[in-house]
Structure 1
Amino acid sequence: MNNKFDYSEANTKIFDKVISEYGWITYENALSDELVNEINDSLLPAYEVRHKIQEANGIAKNMDGTLHHLVEKQLFTLKFLEQKHAHEQIIHFLKGNYILNSLGAVINVKNAQPYVQNIHRDIRTFTGSFKLMIQMMVILDDFTVDNGATYLLTGSHQYDKKPDDQYFFDNADRALARKGSIILFDANLWHAAGKNYTDKPRRALTLAYTKPFMKQQMDYPRLLGYDFGQELNDHLKQVIGYNARIPANLNEYYQPVEKRMYQRNQE
């Protein structure tokens, strides 16, 4: 079975078959060149801000080129999320509404050894057929063997046990994909970033989407401001997490249904 498709061919029937068997699927031609370039232009300044904080707090080791929580009003974030990439597939996978658990990026450069090169999966507890989280990689440079295309151990989303290093690297597939592609994969899938042997960066966004009751890695509604949420359309309110907030006091708790911080249909 093929697991690479043009984004115009995306449908939940094919997605369901491929993600069940392989654990991952690639959609090419998903993002416009304009949006890819806008994202790429923003990454280095955003990385510099984050790296200074990592260094100041003594945790910069093995975090080269990693950016976390790019949910900011001034960045590409809202424009990207508003385009609802793979929306139907994510709803189908999680069986209902979803929220953004995290949105980060990796700038993979030569000789770097970030922690993402370790074999890992993005959900700590193996959930089997009960799906809590789905991952999305947005390919911002062509992914090749030489520049560190991600290793994905096809089918490993079906098993709890972590593979040993030799088995993993002997058997894993490489996420060879063109700039502007999207890769979706089951959060139970074992994977690792590859090493970049070229002189150019290999960049990608990394997103996790979850069922709404699962805690976000950062409280994005509080980060952006509760008042800011009133300006957003229904999709952005949902995906950023404004419909799945937790009251912090009795006044926030005792509200009419339509004003409650945790809305209906957030199972």
Structure 2
Amino acid sequence: MNPIDPHHEAALTTTGWTVLARLIRTDLIDALVDALAPSLSLRDDIRRRNGVLENSAGTLHHLLMDSACYVDLLAEFNVMEPLFKAFFGGNFILNSYGGVINERGAHAYVQKVHRDIRFGSDSRRFMLNALVMLDDFTLENGATHILSHSQNQPEAPDDDRFYTQASRATGERGSVLLFDSRMWHAAGCNTTSQPRRALTLTFTSPFFKPQLDYARLVGYSDLARRDAWLRQVIGFNARVPESLEEFYVPVEQRSYQRGQD
């Protein structure tokens, strides 16, 4: 992969969002598309059993270990490490790994105007969204609405203002939409006969709790074969020790490593 153009860093700081065109290779996108439907079926079965299926059409959560291709995608994100570090002012970890299958007539919570973190800071940014386009994102199939420069606007805009002023994040499959998680946004309505699919990942400062314990989900047995990027981003460097034996160890063996602030 080529280095990321510096203008993306400037766009995240000012406008609050940017699209990295055709970043992910086609064969990996194809594998992710094939994996998505079985992943949705698994989650719908659980939600149905637990009575929480309503208003969740086409939404998926915590995909990381469903298939090797999901880990492969996270490994591909290493090309964005300098951009992410500039955004956070340091290290970061995976906070959530989800997906959306947006179909015509579907109703899901992601279609409401919202933002993904409820607080902010003038001096530090805590969360970044990364949306991977598994299909072309067009105005017709529900490309994301996003209100530029809204990262410092704590109050939700009314729907009329939002949909009048919001931009549309269009792009070709394999592109990645990055945006400050304080941005007000909403999934668009798909008016076509084909699904519009995406993966939705978020990243946070390492001291935030991830939405699932990804380090434990992946497991510690193969930790030595994970490269430095995956160890960091999955959260292996920001764990809480489970015992005094884990706490009293040499610095390089600590569950919570230096630089995770």
Please give the TM-score of this superposition, normalised by the length of structure 2.
Answer: 0.95
State the partner residue of 1:249: 243
Distance 2:246 2:113 in 1: 42
Residue 20 of structure 2 aligns with an amino acid whose one-letter code is: Y
1:35-57 per-position Cα deviation (integer Å, ceiling 9, x unaligned): 11011000000110011111111
Match in the other structure for 2:12: 19
Work out which of the residue numbers 227, 230, 255 in structure 2 matches 1:236.
230
Kindly state the Cα deviation for residue 132 of structure 1 after the two structures are TM-superposed. Answer: 0.6
Aligned position for 1:154: 148
Aligned length: 260
- 1:8 positional shift: 4.4
* SS of match in other structure, 2:56: coil
Q: Secondary structure at the match of 2:119?
A: coil
Do the aligned residues in 2 keep the contact of 1:128 with 1:159 (CA within 8 Å)? no
C-alpha contact (below 8 Å) 1:107/1:204 kept by paired residues: yes
Identical-residue share of aligned pairs (%): 42
Q: Kindly report which structure 2 residues correspond to 1:68-79, keeping only aligned pairs within 5 A, or say none.
A: 68-72=61-65, 74-79=67-72
Moved over 3 A (4+): none
Which of the numbers 125, 141, 158 marks the counterpart of 1:131? 125
1:20 Cα deviation (Å)?
Answer: 2.1
Query: Which deviates the most, 22-31 or 120-129?
Result: 120-129
Deviations 1:135-157 (A, max 9, x none): 11111101111111110001101
2:256 maps to which of 246, 253, 262: 262
Partner of 2:112: 118
Q: 1:63 is paired with a residue of what secondary structure?
A: coil
Q: Answer yes or no: is 1:175 the counterpart of 2:169.
A: yes
Q: Which residue does 2:134 correspond to in 1?
A: 140
1:197 maps to: 191
The residue identity in structure 2 corresponding to 1:50 is: R
Shift of 1:85: 4.0
Return the alpha-carbon distance in structure 1 between the equivalents of residues 206 and 242 of structure 2. 18
Task: Note the alpha carbon deviations across 1:84-119, whole angstroms, 9 max, x for none.
Answer: 142211111001111111111100011101100011
Could you tell me how far apart the structure 1 residues matched to 2:112 and 2:66 are?
Answer: 32
Structure-2 separation of matches of 1:261 and 1:88: 24
Calculate the aligned-residue CA RMSD, in Å.
1.4
| Bigger shift: residues 214-223 or 121-130 | 121-130
Q: Which amino acid aligns with 1:102?
A: S
Query: Unaligned regions of 5+ residues in structure 2, if any?
Result: none
* CA shift for structure 1 position 22: 1.0
Partner SS state of residue 116, structure 1:
helix
- The aligned residue for residue 96 of structure 1 is 90
Deviation at 1:11, TM superposition (A): 3.0
Aligned to 2:27: 34
2:45 aligned to which of 43, 46, 52: 52
CA distance 1:85–1:68, shift in 2 (3 Å): farther
In 2: Cα distance, 1:8 partner to 1:256 partner: 38
C-alpha distance in structure 1 between counterparts of 2:47 and 2:79, whole Å:
31
C-alpha separation in 1, matches of 2:79 and 2:49: 36
2:204 to 210, 215, 237: 210
1:44 and 1:77 map into 2 onto residues whose CA distance is 13
Aligned to 1:67: 60
Q: CA deviation at 1:33?
A: 0.9
Is the CA contact (8 Å cut-off) linking 2:85 and 2:92 kept in structure 1?
yes
Change (3 A) 1:212 1:148: same
Q: Structure 1: where are the runs of 5+ without partners?
A: 1-6
Q: State the SS of the aligned residue for 2:202.
A: strand
- TM-score (ref. length: structure 1): 0.93
Q: What CA deviation, in whole Å up to 9, does each residue of 1:45-75 have, x standing for no partner?
A: 0110011111111111111100101110633
SS at match of 2:48: helix
